[in-house]
Amino acid sequence: MNEISPIKQFLSQKSIALIGFSRKEKSFSRNVFAQLSKSGYEIFTVNPNTDSINGSTVYKTVIDIPYKIDAALLLTPKAETLNAARDIVQRGIKNIWIQQFSETPEAIAYCREKDVNLVSGKCILMYCEPVKNIHSIHRFISKLTGSYRKMK
């Protein structure tokens, strides 16, 4: 299997739990939320420290979301990633993207052991179309250096 297949499979899902949604207005997770929403995904946000952000419901854990979830995106601090991955697997979600800088060897090993479709070490904003702003530059540089994989 080539490396891009897990990315394509993840992005083909319709509903995504965004775990690690920040209360800070100008955070990376807010940017991801906006981009994924504009791209047509149904996003459910998770932050254990709040019930609501800008009037939208925020869940304490992925287990608390009362809707069907196809995939989960982890934007968590590294110390929280493994426990979040365990909750995702317990919930029965088979598509997990651990955003670069959130991944840990333990979380990656756990996901592989549980045989989920896993993407790690990649920035979702380089793959979720349309790619805009600094992420288009990042993608261009990644293509030049050979670290970007084409969607197949």
Sign for the pseudo-dihedral over CA of 95, 100, 107, 45: negative
Residue 64 has pLDDT above 80, yes or no: yes
* Mean pLDDT value of segment 67-78: 97
Phi, psi of 18 (to 5 degrees): -100, 105
pTM: 0.84
pLDDT one-digit tens code per residue, 93-120: 999 999 999 999 999 999 999 999 999 9
Homologous superfamily of the 4-125 domain (CATH): NAD(P)-binding Rossmann-like Domain (3.40.50.720)
Predicted local confidence at residue 1, as pLDDT:
41
pLDDT one-digit tens code per residue, 113-152: 999 999 998 889 888 775 566 444 444 445 445 555 555 5
